[in-house]
């Protein structure tokens, strides 16, 4: 079975190689790696690891953290083996069929952001939530008070906010939201069990939502007046 480890590493040569060696010594194979974020003196990387069914995933944490300065932020089942081109493939798919841009975005976002689900929703004047498209393990939305709306900018949402359903809280669902052409339509991404959405992931979500809004005709391209 494959797992995703989110690692916080010292930003120095050899750190990732040392982690790879340590993980290999416990019988696991690294399948792929994504750079999530770079900061002063540290790096955040996601690595996808194939672990024999006879081993428990906590052995990956022990192995990775045996390297000085490395911390495992989370370990979770991989929703799909990483593909370094998956984000570009999403962009191509959105552009290839503008009439289904919203459906394509929602269907593929969970894989791109390694989230459990993604939904595109419209919030009515009466605060009703209409599901326009979904991907992954789409949660039940009926009866939810849309505490994220209206959306005028991308944001990471508080997983313990009053409006968050209890079952989402129980699962430790980390979320982010971005507007899709207007303040009443948004794309919402959920990652049950974490880890938290980072600024770089929020920026990717906002970029993809903006692209989808333009391609689907919900927003005029930059520099072009609507009308």
Q: Tens of pLDDT along 88-108? A: 888 889 989 999 999 999 999
pLDDT at residue 33 above 70? yes
Residue % of the chain over a pLDDT of 70: 93
What average pLDDT is seen over the chain? Answer: 88
Q: Where are the alpha helices (DSSP H) in 27-85?
A: 58-64
| Overall average pLDDT of the 189-197 stretch | 92
What residues contact 13, with CB distance under 8 A and at least 6 apart?
A: none
Neighbours of 140 (CB within 10 A): 10
How many helices (DSSP H) and strands (DSSP E) are in the chain?
A: 6, 9
**What are the structural domains, with CATH classification, of the chain?**
2-77 (3.30.70.260), 86-215 (3.30.450.40)
Residue that the structure tokens 């494959």 belong to: 2
Beta bridge partners of 120: 133, 187
What token pair was written down for 52? Answer: 């024999």
- Report which of 112, 108, 7 is spatially closest to residue 49, judged by C-alpha positions: 7
Q: For position 224, what pLDDT does the model report?
A: 36
Q: State how far Cα 69 lies from the chain centre.
A: 25
- Spatial separation of the C-alpha atoms in residues 119 and 176, rounded to whole Å: 11
SS3 state of residue 91: helix
Based on its alpha-carbon atoms, the radius of gyration of the chain, rounded to whole angstroms, reads 19
pTM of this structure? 0.74
User: What is the distance, to the nearest Å, from the Cα of residue 175 to the centroid of all Cα atoms in its chain?
Assistant: 8
């Amino acid at each position: 079975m494959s797992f995703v480890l989110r690692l916080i590493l010292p930003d120095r040569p050899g750190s990732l190689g040392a982690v790879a060696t340590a993980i290999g010594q416990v019988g696991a194979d690294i399948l792929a790696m994504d750079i999530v974020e770079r900061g002063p003196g540290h790096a955040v990387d996601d690595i996808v690891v194939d672990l024999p069914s006879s081993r428990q995933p906590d052995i990956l944490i022990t192995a990775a953290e045996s390297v000085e300065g490395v911390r495992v932020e989370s370990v979770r089942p991989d929703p799909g083996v990483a593909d370094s081109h998956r984000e570009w493939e999403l962009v191509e798919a959105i552009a290839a069929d503008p009439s289904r841009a919203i459906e394509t975005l929602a269907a593929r976002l969970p894989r791109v952001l390694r989230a459990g689900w993604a939904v595109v929703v419209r919030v009515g004047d009466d605060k009703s939530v209409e599901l326009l498209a979904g991907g992954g393990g789409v949660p039940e939305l009926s009866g939810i008070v849309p505490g994220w709306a209206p959306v005028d900018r991308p944001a990471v949402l508080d997983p313990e906010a009053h409006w968050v359903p209890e079952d989402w809280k129980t699962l430790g669902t980390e979320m982010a939201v971005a507007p899709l052409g207007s303040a009443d339509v948004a794309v919402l991404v959920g990652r049950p069990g974490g880890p938290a959405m980072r600024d770089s992931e929020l920026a990717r979500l906002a970029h993809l939502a903006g692209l989808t809004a333009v391609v689907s005709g919900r927003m005029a391209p930059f520099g072009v007046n609507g009308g």
